[in-house]
Structure 1
Amino acid sequence: MNVLPSQKPQSIAFLGFGEAARAFQESLATHDPALSFRAYDILLDEPGSAGEMRSAMHRRGVEVAENPAALAKADWIISAVTADQSLAAVQRLAPYLRPARLLIDVNSVSPGRKRAAAALVEAQGAHYLDMAIMAPVHPRKHRTPVLIAGPAAERLVPALDNLGFSHEVAGAETGAATAVKMARSLFVKGLEAITIEALLAAEASGCLESVTHSLARDFAGLGWPDFAAYEFERALRHGRRRAAEMRECAATVRELGLHGRLAEEIAEVEERMGRAQVPPPRAQALAEDLGAVLRARLAQREPGNGGGSQ
Protein backbone atom coordinates (compact mmCIF):
# COMPACT_ATOMS: atom_id res chain seq x y z
CA MET A 1 0.00 0.00 0.00
CA ASN A 2 1.34 3.43 -0.97
CA VAL A 3 1.03 5.15 2.39
CA LEU A 4 2.50 8.43 3.55
CA PRO A 5 5.54 8.45 5.84
CA SER A 6 4.95 8.32 9.57
CA GLN A 7 3.74 11.44 11.31
CA LYS A 8 7.24 12.05 12.60
CA PRO A 9 9.95 11.56 9.95
CA GLN A 10 13.27 10.25 11.17
CA SER A 11 15.29 11.75 8.34
CA ILE A 12 14.99 14.81 6.12
CA ALA A 13 17.03 15.51 3.00
CA PHE A 14 17.49 18.77 1.13
CA LEU A 15 17.73 19.03 -2.62
CA GLY A 16 19.53 22.37 -2.76
CA PHE A 17 21.14 23.85 0.33
CA GLY A 18 20.85 27.61 0.00
CA GLU A 19 19.32 30.16 2.33
CA ALA A 20 15.86 28.59 2.69
CA ALA A 21 17.15 25.04 3.17
CA ARG A 22 19.73 26.16 5.74
CA ALA A 23 17.14 28.13 7.67
CA PHE A 24 14.71 25.21 7.74
CA GLN A 25 17.38 22.74 8.76
CA GLU A 26 18.69 24.87 11.62
CA SER A 27 15.34 25.29 13.33
CA LEU A 28 14.15 21.75 12.59
CA ALA A 29 17.31 20.42 14.24
CA THR A 30 16.56 22.51 17.32
CA HIS A 31 12.92 21.48 17.35
CA ASP A 32 13.71 17.76 17.10
CA PRO A 33 17.34 16.81 17.86
CA ALA A 34 16.58 13.20 16.87
CA LEU A 35 16.16 14.13 13.22
CA SER A 36 18.99 13.28 10.84
CA PHE A 37 19.79 15.41 7.80
CA ARG A 38 21.57 15.07 4.49
CA ALA A 39 21.79 17.42 1.54
CA TYR A 40 22.87 17.67 -2.06
CA ASP A 41 23.49 20.93 -3.90
CA ILE A 42 24.62 21.36 -7.49
CA LEU A 43 27.41 23.61 -6.20
CA LEU A 44 29.08 20.47 -4.85
CA ASP A 45 29.87 19.62 -8.47
CA GLU A 46 31.72 22.89 -9.11
CA PRO A 47 35.34 23.11 -7.87
CA GLY A 48 35.08 26.80 -7.08
CA SER A 49 32.10 26.42 -4.75
CA ALA A 50 32.26 22.83 -3.48
CA GLY A 51 34.49 23.62 -0.50
CA GLU A 52 32.23 26.34 0.91
CA MET A 53 29.14 24.21 0.39
CA ARG A 54 30.67 21.21 2.15
CA SER A 55 31.72 23.42 5.04
CA ALA A 56 28.20 24.83 5.33
CA MET A 57 26.79 21.33 5.58
CA HIS A 58 29.42 20.08 8.01
CA ARG A 59 28.97 23.06 10.34
CA ARG A 60 25.30 22.21 10.67
CA GLY A 61 25.74 18.48 11.16
CA VAL A 62 24.30 17.70 7.73
CA GLU A 63 25.59 14.65 5.86
CA VAL A 64 26.97 15.55 2.43
CA ALA A 65 25.22 13.69 -0.39
CA GLU A 66 27.48 13.35 -3.41
CA ASN A 67 24.57 13.09 -5.83
CA PRO A 68 20.76 13.29 -5.82
CA ALA A 69 20.45 9.51 -5.60
CA ALA A 70 21.92 9.65 -2.09
CA LEU A 71 18.89 11.64 -0.92
CA ALA A 72 16.36 8.99 -1.83
CA LYS A 73 16.55 7.06 1.45
CA ALA A 74 15.27 9.99 3.51
CA ASP A 75 11.66 9.97 4.70
CA TRP A 76 11.14 13.54 3.47
CA ILE A 77 13.03 15.41 0.76
CA ILE A 78 12.68 19.18 0.62
CA SER A 79 13.43 20.67 -2.79
CA ALA A 80 14.78 24.22 -2.37
CA VAL A 81 16.73 25.08 -5.51
CA THR A 82 16.66 28.12 -7.78
CA ALA A 83 13.40 28.57 -9.65
CA ASP A 84 14.93 27.92 -13.05
CA GLN A 85 16.36 24.59 -11.84
CA SER A 86 13.32 23.24 -9.99
CA LEU A 87 12.10 20.80 -12.62
CA ALA A 88 15.57 19.71 -13.72
CA ALA A 89 16.45 18.94 -10.09
CA VAL A 90 13.41 16.69 -9.69
CA GLN A 91 14.15 15.00 -13.01
CA ARG A 92 17.58 14.01 -11.67
CA LEU A 93 16.14 12.78 -8.39
CA ALA A 94 12.94 11.03 -9.53
CA PRO A 95 14.45 7.74 -10.80
CA TYR A 96 15.81 7.05 -7.32
CA LEU A 97 12.70 7.87 -5.31
CA ARG A 98 11.23 5.09 -3.24
CA PRO A 99 7.49 4.41 -2.91
CA ALA A 100 5.75 6.20 -0.05
CA ARG A 101 8.52 8.79 0.34
CA LEU A 102 7.59 12.47 0.33
CA LEU A 103 9.02 15.31 -1.74
CA ILE A 104 8.16 18.80 -0.50
CA ASP A 105 8.61 21.41 -3.23
CA VAL A 106 9.13 24.87 -1.71
CA ASN A 107 10.36 26.50 -4.91
CA SER A 108 8.73 29.71 -6.16
CA VAL A 109 7.56 28.45 -9.55
CA SER A 110 4.38 28.39 -11.61
CA PRO A 111 1.54 25.94 -10.88
CA GLY A 112 2.27 24.25 -14.21
CA ARG A 113 5.90 23.69 -13.21
CA LYS A 114 4.82 22.15 -9.91
CA ARG A 115 2.32 19.87 -11.59
CA ALA A 116 5.05 18.67 -13.96
CA ALA A 117 7.33 17.93 -11.00
CA ALA A 118 4.50 16.17 -9.16
CA ALA A 119 3.90 13.88 -12.12
CA LEU A 120 7.55 12.77 -12.06
CA VAL A 121 7.42 12.07 -8.32
CA GLU A 122 4.08 10.29 -8.31
CA ALA A 123 5.12 8.08 -11.24
CA GLN A 124 7.64 6.52 -8.83
CA GLY A 125 4.97 5.82 -6.21
CA ALA A 126 6.18 8.67 -4.00
CA HIS A 127 4.17 11.61 -2.69
CA TYR A 128 4.46 15.29 -3.60
CA LEU A 129 3.55 18.37 -1.57
CA ASP A 130 3.26 21.83 -3.08
CA MET A 131 4.52 24.21 -0.37
CA ALA A 132 4.71 27.99 -0.81
CA ILE A 133 6.80 30.04 1.62
CA MET A 134 4.86 33.22 2.23
CA ALA A 135 7.41 35.42 4.02
CA PRO A 136 11.20 35.79 4.39
CA VAL A 137 12.65 32.69 6.09
CA HIS A 138 14.44 34.77 8.71
CA PRO A 139 13.94 35.00 11.61
CA ARG A 140 11.23 32.29 11.90
CA LYS A 141 13.00 29.73 9.69
CA HIS A 142 10.85 26.58 9.28
CA ARG A 143 8.13 28.28 11.30
CA THR A 144 7.72 30.90 8.56
CA PRO A 145 4.07 30.84 7.36
CA VAL A 146 3.58 28.46 4.44
CA LEU A 147 0.70 27.31 2.26
CA ILE A 148 0.43 23.64 1.32
CA ALA A 149 -1.54 21.96 -1.44
CA GLY A 150 -1.92 18.67 -3.25
CA PRO A 151 -3.61 15.30 -2.71
CA ALA A 152 -1.43 14.61 0.34
CA ALA A 153 -1.84 18.02 2.01
CA GLU A 154 -4.63 17.23 4.48
CA ARG A 155 -3.03 13.93 5.52
CA LEU A 156 0.26 15.70 6.25
CA VAL A 157 -1.22 18.24 8.65
CA PRO A 158 -0.46 16.14 11.80
CA ALA A 159 3.14 15.57 10.69
CA LEU A 160 3.69 19.26 9.98
CA ASP A 161 2.10 20.14 13.31
CA ASN A 162 4.45 17.75 15.10
CA LEU A 163 7.43 19.53 13.57
CA GLY A 164 6.17 23.01 14.39
CA PHE A 165 5.41 24.27 10.88
CA SER A 166 3.08 27.27 10.55
CA HIS A 167 0.90 26.11 7.70
CA GLU A 168 -2.46 26.50 6.01
CA VAL A 169 -3.99 24.16 3.44
CA ALA A 170 -4.65 25.99 0.16
CA GLY A 171 -6.37 23.10 -1.59
CA ALA A 172 -6.23 19.50 -2.74
CA GLU A 173 -4.89 20.33 -6.20
CA THR A 174 -1.15 20.60 -6.77
CA GLY A 175 -0.37 24.18 -7.71
CA ALA A 176 -3.00 25.78 -5.49
CA ALA A 177 -0.41 26.95 -2.95
CA THR A 178 2.08 28.31 -5.46
CA ALA A 179 -0.73 30.09 -7.35
CA VAL A 180 -1.31 32.22 -4.26
CA LYS A 181 2.42 32.86 -3.95
CA MET A 182 2.79 33.86 -7.59
CA ALA A 183 -0.17 36.27 -7.60
CA ARG A 184 1.01 37.83 -4.36
CA SER A 185 4.59 38.09 -5.62
CA LEU A 186 3.45 40.02 -8.67
CA PHE A 187 2.18 42.71 -6.29
CA VAL A 188 5.05 42.57 -3.78
CA LYS A 189 7.91 42.58 -6.29
CA GLY A 190 5.99 45.01 -8.49
CA LEU A 191 5.80 47.46 -5.62
CA GLU A 192 9.51 46.90 -5.06
CA ALA A 193 10.34 47.57 -8.70
CA ILE A 194 8.19 50.71 -8.81
CA THR A 195 9.89 52.01 -5.66
CA ILE A 196 13.35 51.35 -7.10
CA GLU A 197 12.63 52.97 -10.46
CA ALA A 198 10.81 55.96 -8.98
CA LEU A 199 13.51 56.83 -6.46
CA LEU A 200 16.35 56.35 -8.93
CA ALA A 201 14.53 58.70 -11.30
CA ALA A 202 13.96 61.19 -8.49
CA GLU A 203 17.63 61.15 -7.47
CA ALA A 204 18.76 61.50 -11.08
CA SER A 205 16.37 64.44 -11.51
CA GLY A 206 17.54 66.16 -8.36
CA CYS A 207 14.14 66.01 -6.68
CA LEU A 208 14.55 63.05 -4.31
CA GLU A 209 13.75 65.04 -1.17
CA SER A 210 10.52 66.41 -2.64
CA VAL A 211 9.41 63.01 -3.92
CA THR A 212 10.13 61.14 -0.69
CA HIS A 213 8.42 63.89 1.34
CA SER A 214 5.32 63.61 -0.87
CA LEU A 215 5.25 59.81 -0.70
CA ALA A 216 5.76 59.81 3.07
CA ARG A 217 2.79 62.16 3.41
CA ASP A 218 0.42 60.34 1.05
CA PHE A 219 1.47 56.75 1.82
CA ALA A 220 2.40 57.07 5.48
CA GLY A 221 1.37 53.51 6.23
CA LEU A 222 4.32 52.15 4.26
CA GLY A 223 6.80 53.64 6.73
CA TRP A 224 8.96 55.91 4.59
CA PRO A 225 11.92 56.17 4.23
CA ASP A 226 12.81 52.85 5.88
CA PHE A 227 10.37 51.09 3.54
CA ALA A 228 12.20 52.37 0.47
CA ALA A 229 15.61 51.44 1.83
CA TYR A 230 14.35 47.96 2.69
CA GLU A 231 13.13 47.49 -0.89
CA PHE A 232 16.59 48.40 -2.19
CA GLU A 233 18.25 46.11 0.34
CA ARG A 234 16.19 43.09 -0.73
CA ALA A 235 16.71 43.72 -4.45
CA LEU A 236 20.44 44.29 -4.17
CA ARG A 237 20.95 41.24 -1.97
CA HIS A 238 18.51 38.82 -3.64
CA GLY A 239 17.76 40.37 -7.02
CA ARG A 240 18.80 37.43 -9.18
CA ARG A 241 16.73 34.97 -7.19
CA ARG A 242 13.76 37.37 -7.19
CA ALA A 243 14.15 37.81 -10.96
CA ALA A 244 13.88 34.04 -11.45
CA GLU A 245 10.75 34.02 -9.31
CA MET A 246 9.21 36.82 -11.37
CA ARG A 247 9.88 34.93 -14.59
CA GLU A 248 7.92 32.06 -13.08
CA CYS A 249 5.24 34.58 -12.19
CA ALA A 250 5.15 35.63 -15.84
CA ALA A 251 4.72 31.96 -16.80
CA THR A 252 1.86 31.67 -14.29
CA VAL A 253 0.09 34.67 -15.80
CA ARG A 254 0.51 33.29 -19.30
CA GLU A 255 -0.85 29.90 -18.19
CA LEU A 256 -4.01 31.77 -17.18
CA GLY A 257 -4.42 33.20 -20.66
CA LEU A 258 -3.22 36.66 -19.63
CA HIS A 259 0.00 38.41 -20.64
CA GLY A 260 3.10 38.27 -18.48
CA ARG A 261 4.88 41.37 -19.74
CA LEU A 262 4.61 43.26 -16.46
CA ALA A 263 6.19 40.39 -14.53
CA GLU A 264 8.95 40.14 -17.14
CA GLU A 265 9.75 43.84 -16.75
CA ILE A 266 9.82 43.47 -12.97
CA ALA A 267 12.22 40.56 -13.44
CA GLU A 268 14.53 42.81 -15.45
CA VAL A 269 14.62 45.42 -12.67
CA GLU A 270 15.41 42.70 -10.11
CA GLU A 271 18.05 41.10 -12.33
CA ARG A 272 19.93 44.34 -12.86
CA MET A 273 19.78 45.20 -9.20
CA GLY A 274 21.11 41.75 -8.36
CA ARG A 275 24.03 42.25 -10.74
CA ALA A 276 24.87 45.70 -9.39
CA GLN A 277 28.09 46.01 -7.42
CA VAL A 278 26.48 48.17 -4.74
CA PRO A 279 26.55 47.31 -1.01
CA PRO A 280 22.98 46.95 0.30
CA PRO A 281 21.82 49.38 3.01
CA ARG A 282 22.80 48.26 6.49
CA ALA A 283 19.91 46.85 8.50
CA GLN A 284 20.67 49.20 11.39
CA ALA A 285 20.86 52.28 9.18
CA LEU A 286 18.41 51.75 6.33
CA ALA A 287 17.24 55.32 5.88
CA GLU A 288 20.68 56.84 6.42
CA ASP A 289 22.19 54.65 3.72
CA LEU A 290 19.48 55.20 1.10
CA GLY A 291 21.00 58.27 -0.54
CA ALA A 292 24.42 56.66 -0.86
CA VAL A 293 22.86 53.53 -2.37
CA LEU A 294 20.93 55.57 -4.92
CA ARG A 295 24.02 57.50 -5.97
CA ALA A 296 26.10 54.34 -6.23
CA ARG A 297 23.46 52.63 -8.34
CA LEU A 298 23.12 55.64 -10.65
CA ALA A 299 26.88 55.65 -11.13
CA GLN A 300 26.46 52.25 -12.79
CA ARG A 301 24.01 53.40 -15.43
CA GLU A 302 24.47 51.28 -18.50
CA PRO A 303 25.38 53.02 -21.80
CA GLY A 304 23.07 52.58 -24.72
CA ASN A 305 19.97 52.34 -22.53
CA GLY A 306 18.62 55.81 -23.10
CA GLY A 307 20.63 57.07 -20.14
CA GLY A 308 18.41 55.02 -17.86
CA SER A 309 19.49 53.75 -14.46
CA GLN A 310 18.74 50.15 -15.28
Structure 2
Amino acid sequence: MEQEVGLIGFGEAGSTFAVAGEWGARAHVFDRKTGNGPDREAMLASYKAAHVLGARFLDDALASVDLILSLVTADQALAVAEAAAECLPAGAIYCDMNSVAPQTKQAAAGVIQAAGGHYVDVAVMAPVNPARLSVPLLLSGGQAEEAAARLATLGFAKTRVVGDAVGRASSIKMIRSVMVKGIEALTVECILAAEAAGVREEVLASLDASEKVKPWEERADYNLDRMLVHGLRRAAEMEEVVKTLEGLGTGAVMTRGTVERQGAIGTLGVGTPPEGLSGKIAAVFAGLQ
Protein backbone atom coordinates (compact mmCIF):
# COMPACT_ATOMS: atom_id res chain seq x y z
CA MET A 1 0.00 0.00 0.00
CA GLU A 2 1.32 3.44 -0.89
CA GLN A 3 2.37 5.71 1.94
CA GLU A 4 -0.12 8.45 2.75
CA VAL A 5 1.21 11.60 4.32
CA GLY A 6 -0.12 14.57 6.23
CA LEU A 7 1.63 17.70 5.03
CA ILE A 8 1.54 20.82 7.18
CA GLY A 9 2.61 23.81 5.11
CA PHE A 10 2.52 24.05 1.33
CA GLY A 11 5.15 26.66 0.59
CA GLU A 12 8.23 26.07 -1.55
CA ALA A 13 9.39 22.93 0.27
CA GLY A 14 6.03 21.23 0.71
CA SER A 15 4.81 21.88 -2.82
CA THR A 16 8.18 20.94 -4.36
CA PHE A 17 8.25 17.59 -2.56
CA ALA A 18 4.63 16.77 -3.37
CA VAL A 19 5.04 17.51 -7.06
CA ALA A 20 8.44 15.82 -7.41
CA GLY A 21 7.18 12.68 -5.70
CA GLU A 22 3.86 12.72 -7.53
CA TRP A 23 2.16 12.20 -4.19
CA GLY A 24 -1.18 13.39 -5.51
CA ALA A 25 -4.11 12.29 -3.40
CA ARG A 26 -1.79 10.45 -1.01
CA ALA A 27 -0.92 13.90 0.40
CA HIS A 28 -3.43 15.40 2.83
CA VAL A 29 -2.37 19.04 3.01
CA PHE A 30 -3.13 21.87 5.39
CA ASP A 31 -1.74 25.38 5.01
CA ARG A 32 -3.04 28.25 7.08
CA LYS A 33 -3.28 30.37 3.92
CA THR A 34 -6.41 28.42 3.02
CA GLY A 35 -8.32 30.54 5.53
CA ASN A 36 -10.30 33.54 4.39
CA GLY A 37 -7.28 35.77 3.71
CA PRO A 38 -6.03 37.21 0.42
CA ASP A 39 -3.83 34.17 -0.29
CA ARG A 40 -6.65 31.65 -0.15
CA GLU A 41 -7.36 31.38 -3.87
CA ALA A 42 -3.68 31.10 -4.79
CA MET A 43 -3.17 28.32 -2.25
CA LEU A 44 -6.22 26.41 -3.46
CA ALA A 45 -4.86 26.71 -6.99
CA SER A 46 -1.54 25.27 -5.78
CA TYR A 47 -3.37 22.29 -4.28
CA LYS A 48 -5.18 21.70 -7.56
CA ALA A 49 -2.03 21.95 -9.66
CA ALA A 50 -0.27 19.38 -7.44
CA HIS A 51 -3.35 17.11 -7.33
CA VAL A 52 -3.13 16.89 -3.53
CA LEU A 53 -6.03 16.70 -1.13
CA GLY A 54 -6.31 20.11 0.47
CA ALA A 55 -7.90 20.47 3.89
CA ARG A 56 -9.36 23.64 5.34
CA PHE A 57 -8.67 22.50 8.90
CA LEU A 58 -5.61 20.83 10.39
CA ASP A 59 -7.51 17.96 11.97
CA ASP A 60 -8.96 17.02 8.56
CA ALA A 61 -5.46 16.74 7.08
CA LEU A 62 -4.14 14.56 9.90
CA ALA A 63 -7.16 12.39 10.64
CA SER A 64 -6.21 9.31 8.62
CA VAL A 65 -2.41 9.42 8.28
CA ASP A 66 0.43 7.79 10.20
CA LEU A 67 3.19 9.99 8.78
CA ILE A 68 3.21 13.77 9.13
CA LEU A 69 5.68 16.27 7.66
CA SER A 70 5.85 19.73 9.19
CA LEU A 71 7.23 22.31 6.75
CA VAL A 72 6.31 25.74 8.01
CA THR A 73 8.20 28.93 8.81
CA ALA A 74 10.63 28.70 11.72
CA ASP A 75 8.59 31.01 13.94
CA GLN A 76 5.56 28.72 13.59
CA ALA A 77 7.25 25.34 14.13
CA LEU A 78 6.44 24.96 17.83
CA ALA A 79 2.93 26.40 17.54
CA VAL A 80 2.14 23.98 14.71
CA ALA A 81 3.42 21.03 16.76
CA GLU A 82 1.18 22.10 19.63
CA ALA A 83 -1.81 22.33 17.30
CA ALA A 84 -1.01 19.00 15.68
CA ALA A 85 -0.72 17.33 19.10
CA GLU A 86 -4.42 17.98 19.65
CA CYS A 87 -5.52 15.99 16.62
CA LEU A 88 -2.80 13.62 15.39
CA PRO A 89 -3.60 9.89 15.33
CA ALA A 90 -2.04 7.81 18.10
CA GLY A 91 1.30 6.36 17.00
CA ALA A 92 1.74 8.71 14.05
CA ILE A 93 5.29 9.71 13.16
CA TYR A 94 5.71 13.48 13.18
CA CYS A 95 8.71 14.59 11.10
CA ASP A 96 9.65 18.14 12.04
CA MET A 97 11.57 19.35 9.00
CA ASN A 98 11.75 22.98 10.04
CA SER A 99 15.00 24.94 10.44
CA VAL A 100 14.92 25.67 14.15
CA ALA A 101 17.16 25.30 17.19
CA PRO A 102 17.47 21.90 18.88
CA GLN A 103 15.82 23.38 21.99
CA THR A 104 12.76 24.28 19.89
CA LYS A 105 12.59 20.77 18.49
CA GLN A 106 12.91 19.24 21.95
CA ALA A 107 9.99 21.38 23.15
CA ALA A 108 7.94 20.30 20.14
CA ALA A 109 8.88 16.66 20.77
CA GLY A 110 7.53 16.96 24.29
CA VAL A 111 4.04 17.95 23.16
CA ILE A 112 3.90 15.45 20.28
CA GLN A 113 5.03 12.54 22.45
CA ALA A 114 2.71 13.51 25.28
CA ALA A 115 -0.14 13.21 22.78
CA GLY A 116 0.89 9.68 21.78
CA GLY A 117 2.84 10.52 18.64
CA HIS A 118 6.43 9.75 17.68
CA TYR A 119 8.58 12.82 17.04
CA VAL A 120 11.52 12.80 14.61
CA ASP A 121 13.94 15.67 14.20
CA VAL A 122 14.70 16.14 10.48
CA ALA A 123 17.30 18.59 9.22
CA VAL A 124 17.09 19.60 5.55
CA MET A 125 20.74 20.14 4.66
CA ALA A 126 20.50 21.96 1.31
CA PRO A 127 18.04 24.08 -0.67
CA VAL A 128 15.04 22.03 -1.81
CA ASN A 129 15.50 23.35 -5.33
CA PRO A 130 16.93 22.04 -7.52
CA ALA A 131 17.62 18.93 -5.40
CA ARG A 132 13.93 18.21 -4.68
CA LEU A 133 13.62 14.64 -3.31
CA SER A 134 17.40 14.21 -3.51
CA VAL A 135 17.96 16.89 -0.89
CA PRO A 136 20.07 15.45 1.97
CA LEU A 137 18.07 14.82 5.14
CA LEU A 138 19.52 14.07 8.59
CA LEU A 139 17.20 12.34 11.06
CA SER A 140 17.38 11.83 14.82
CA GLY A 141 14.96 10.52 17.40
CA GLY A 142 13.69 7.23 18.74
CA GLN A 143 11.73 6.45 15.56
CA ALA A 144 14.28 7.88 13.13
CA GLU A 145 14.96 4.56 11.39
CA GLU A 146 11.25 3.94 10.84
CA ALA A 147 10.80 7.51 9.62
CA ALA A 148 13.67 7.09 7.15
CA ALA A 149 11.99 4.00 5.73
CA ARG A 150 8.68 5.82 5.39
CA LEU A 151 10.31 8.81 3.74
CA ALA A 152 11.99 6.49 1.25
CA THR A 153 8.58 5.24 0.15
CA LEU A 154 7.68 8.86 -0.62
CA GLY A 155 10.74 9.13 -2.86
CA PHE A 156 13.30 10.80 -0.60
CA ALA A 157 16.64 9.46 -1.81
CA LYS A 158 19.21 10.79 0.65
CA THR A 159 18.24 10.21 4.27
CA ARG A 160 20.71 9.45 7.04
CA VAL A 161 20.01 8.67 10.69
CA VAL A 162 22.48 10.46 12.98
CA GLY A 163 21.26 9.34 16.40
CA ASP A 164 18.29 8.66 18.62
CA ALA A 165 18.33 11.99 20.49
CA VAL A 166 15.93 14.67 19.33
CA GLY A 167 17.97 17.79 18.60
CA ARG A 168 21.05 16.04 17.23
CA ALA A 169 20.09 16.48 13.58
CA SER A 170 19.11 20.11 14.05
CA SER A 171 22.30 20.78 16.03
CA ILE A 172 24.33 19.68 13.01
CA LYS A 173 22.36 21.98 10.73
CA MET A 174 22.32 24.99 13.06
CA ILE A 175 26.03 24.83 13.92
CA ARG A 176 27.01 24.24 10.30
CA SER A 177 25.16 27.45 9.50
CA VAL A 178 27.59 29.38 11.70
CA MET A 179 30.20 28.72 9.02
CA VAL A 180 28.08 28.69 5.88
CA LYS A 181 26.01 31.80 6.61
CA GLY A 182 28.95 33.46 8.37
CA ILE A 183 31.12 33.12 5.27
CA GLU A 184 28.33 34.69 3.23
CA ALA A 185 28.12 37.63 5.63
CA LEU A 186 31.90 38.05 5.74
CA THR A 187 32.02 37.94 1.96
CA VAL A 188 29.56 40.81 1.69
CA GLU A 189 31.37 42.85 4.34
CA CYS A 190 34.70 42.36 2.56
CA ILE A 191 33.50 42.95 -0.99
CA LEU A 192 31.45 46.07 -0.23
CA ALA A 193 34.48 47.63 1.45
CA ALA A 194 36.78 46.58 -1.41
CA GLU A 195 34.42 48.10 -3.96
CA ALA A 196 34.07 51.32 -1.97
CA ALA A 197 37.85 51.60 -1.71
CA GLY A 198 38.32 50.86 -5.41
CA VAL A 199 40.45 47.76 -4.78
CA ARG A 200 38.02 44.90 -5.43
CA GLU A 201 40.07 43.18 -8.15
CA GLU A 202 43.24 43.31 -6.07
CA VAL A 203 41.51 41.97 -2.95
CA LEU A 204 39.95 39.07 -4.85
CA ALA A 205 43.24 38.24 -6.56
CA SER A 206 45.00 38.24 -3.20
CA LEU A 207 42.39 35.89 -1.76
CA ASP A 208 42.78 33.55 -4.74
CA ALA A 209 46.55 33.53 -4.28
CA SER A 210 46.37 32.69 -0.57
CA GLU A 211 43.52 30.19 -0.65
CA LYS A 212 44.55 26.55 -0.34
CA VAL A 213 41.97 23.78 -0.42
CA LYS A 214 42.12 21.74 2.79
CA PRO A 215 39.74 19.44 4.66
CA TRP A 216 37.84 21.36 7.34
CA GLU A 217 39.51 19.34 10.11
CA GLU A 218 42.86 20.76 8.99
CA ARG A 219 41.46 24.24 8.45
CA ALA A 220 39.91 24.36 11.91
CA ASP A 221 43.11 23.06 13.53
CA TYR A 222 45.23 25.68 11.76
CA ASN A 223 42.83 28.57 12.42
CA LEU A 224 42.50 27.77 16.11
CA ASP A 225 46.27 27.39 16.40
CA ARG A 226 46.81 30.88 14.95
CA MET A 227 44.26 32.41 17.32
CA LEU A 228 45.76 30.77 20.39
CA VAL A 229 49.23 32.01 19.47
CA HIS A 230 48.48 35.36 17.85
CA GLY A 231 44.95 36.24 18.93
CA LEU A 232 45.84 39.40 20.86
CA ARG A 233 47.95 40.79 18.04
CA ARG A 234 45.32 39.90 15.48
CA ALA A 235 42.59 41.52 17.58
CA ALA A 236 44.61 44.76 17.55
CA GLU A 237 45.07 44.49 13.80
CA MET A 238 41.36 43.88 13.30
CA GLU A 239 40.57 46.99 15.32
CA GLU A 240 42.33 48.86 12.54
CA VAL A 241 40.27 46.93 9.99
CA VAL A 242 37.13 48.13 11.79
CA LYS A 243 38.38 51.71 11.43
CA THR A 244 38.99 51.09 7.73
CA LEU A 245 35.51 49.78 7.07
CA GLU A 246 33.79 52.40 9.17
CA GLY A 247 35.77 55.07 7.34
CA LEU A 248 34.41 53.70 4.06
CA GLY A 249 30.90 53.67 5.49
CA THR A 250 30.23 50.06 4.47
CA GLY A 251 29.77 48.59 7.96
CA ALA A 252 31.89 46.37 10.20
CA VAL A 253 29.42 44.17 12.08
CA MET A 254 31.20 40.90 11.33
CA THR A 255 34.66 42.37 11.79
CA ARG A 256 33.84 43.74 15.24
CA GLY A 257 32.86 40.18 16.18
CA THR A 258 36.22 38.98 14.88
CA VAL A 259 38.01 41.47 17.14
CA GLU A 260 36.12 40.14 20.15
CA ARG A 261 36.66 36.46 19.34
CA GLN A 262 40.34 36.81 18.46
CA GLY A 263 40.98 38.75 21.66
CA ALA A 264 39.09 36.28 23.84
CA ILE A 265 41.01 33.28 22.48
CA GLY A 266 44.30 35.15 22.55
CA THR A 267 43.96 36.03 26.24
CA LEU A 268 43.70 32.38 27.31
CA GLY A 269 47.47 32.14 27.66
CA VAL A 270 47.64 28.53 26.50
CA GLY A 271 51.29 28.85 25.46
CA THR A 272 52.31 26.33 22.83
CA PRO A 273 49.01 24.93 21.50
CA PRO A 274 48.46 21.18 21.92
CA GLU A 275 48.74 18.92 18.90
CA GLY A 276 45.56 18.20 16.98
CA LEU A 277 42.18 19.90 16.85
CA SER A 278 40.74 17.97 19.81
CA GLY A 279 43.62 19.03 22.05
CA LYS A 280 43.23 22.67 21.06
CA ILE A 281 39.48 22.60 21.67
CA ALA A 282 40.03 21.06 25.10
CA ALA A 283 42.57 23.79 25.93
CA VAL A 284 40.08 26.48 24.93
CA PHE A 285 37.30 24.98 27.01
CA ALA A 286 39.62 24.71 29.99
CA GLY A 287 40.74 28.29 29.59
CA LEU A 288 37.20 29.61 29.37
CA GLN A 289 36.11 27.96 32.62
TM-score (norm 1): 0.64
Partner residue of 2:209? 217
Partner residue of 2:20? 27
Q: Is the deviation greater in 210-219 or in 56-65?
A: 210-219
Aligned length: 217
Q: Which of 1 and 2 has higher RCO (CA within 8 Å, sep 6+)?
A: 1
How far residue 36 of structure 1 moved from its aligned partner, in angstroms, is 1.0
State whether structure 2 residue 26 is matched by structure 1 residue 36.
Answer: yes
Report if the CA contact (8 A) 2:139-2:148 is conserved: no
Partner residue of 1:67? 57
Partner residue of 2:265? none
Q: Distance in 2 between matches of 1:88 and 1:22?
A: 21
C-alpha spacing 1:219/1:53, structure 2 compared with 1 (3 Å): farther
Alignment of 1:279-294 (within 5 A): none
Deviations 1:104-123 (A, max 9, x none): 10011111110111111111
Partner residue of 1:170? 162
Q: Is the deviation greater in 211-220 or in 190-199?
A: 211-220
Q: Distance in 1 between matches of 2:212 and 2:28?
A: 46
* Aligned alpha-carbon RMSD (Å): 2.3
Q: Which one-letter code corresponds to 2:44 in the other structure?
A: R
How far residue 44 of structure 1 moved from its aligned partner, in angstroms, is 2.5
TM-score (norm 2): 0.69
Q: Is the deviation greater in 159-168 or in 100-109?
A: 159-168
1:50 to 30, 40, 46: 40
Alignment of 1:198-237 (within 5 A): 198-219=190-211
Partner residue of 2:98? 107
SS at match of 1:78: strand
Alignment of 1:104-143 (within 5 A): 104-143=95-134
How far residue 87 of structure 1 moved from its aligned partner, in angstroms, is 0.4
Unpaired runs of 5+ in structure 1?
1-7, 223-305
Report if the CA contact (8 A) 1:147-1:170 is conserved: yes
Q: Distance in 1 between matches of 2:211 and 2:45?
A: 45
C-alpha spacing 1:129/1:48, structure 2 compared with 1 (3 Å): same
Unpaired runs of 5+ in structure 2?
215-247, 254-289
C-alpha spacing 1:131/1:204, structure 2 compared with 1 (3 Å): same
Identity %: 36
Deviations 1:228-272 (A, max 9, x none): xxxxxxxxxxxxxxxxxxxxxxxxxxxxxxxxxxxxxxxxxxxxx
Report if the CA contact (8 A) 1:9-1:76 is conserved: no
Report if the CA contact (8 A) 1:150-1:174 is conserved: yes
Deviations 1:173-217 (A, max 9, x none): 111111111111111001111111111121222222222222233
Report if the CA contact (8 A) 1:71-1:77 is conserved: no
How far residue 19 of structure 1 moved from its aligned partner, in angstroms, is 1.2
